[in-house]
Structure 1
Amino acid sequence: MPQLNPNPWFFVMLMSWLTFSFIIQPKLLSFTHTNPPTNKTSTTDKTTPWTWPWT
């Protein structure tokens, strides 16, 4: 069965992963984010319970 023979496609897969890992990924990770995450203080809103007219 030729599907089980890794000789034709294994080298292509290996080269594509190495290309992604060593060339493309560092270029993508070097971009700066337009909106960097900031630490926000959590605000709690003061809520009042609803007064039901039939109780």
Structure 2
Amino acid sequence: MPQLNPSPWLFIMLTSWLTYSLIIQPKLLSFVTANPPSNKASVTPSTTPWTWPWT
């Protein structure tokens, strides 16, 4: 069973994840800007209690 032998695919998987996380991801994150937080006041909606028919 070739899938039980981790030799061919484990090195490829680790290399690709290290490449992605150390090289590609910081380069991509430098282009993506996060949304700035808004200064809106949080408004709580006015809710009416539910009248249950059996109480």
TM-score, normalised by the number of residues in structure 2 = 0.61
| Number of equivalenced pairs | 47
Q: Which residue matches 1:17?
A: 17
SS in 2 for 1:18: helix
How far the C-alpha of 1:2 sits from its partner, in A, is: 1.3
Q: Which residue matches 2:33?
A: 33
Indicate the structure (1 or 2) with the bigger Cα radius of gyration: 1
Q: For residues 4-34 of structure 1, what are the alpha-carbon distances to aligned partners after superposition, in whole Å with 9 as ceiling and x for unaligned? A: 0001101110110001110111012212427
CA RMSD in angstroms comes to 2.4
Partner letter of residue 38 of structure 1? S
Where has structure 1 moved over 4 Å in runs of 4 or more? Answer: none
How far the C-alpha of 1:44 sits from its partner, in A, is: 5.4
Using the alignment, how far apart are the partners of 1:14 and 1:36 within structure 2?
A: 35
Q: 1:37 to 1:31 in 2, by over 3 A?
A: farther
Partner letter of residue 21 of structure 1? S
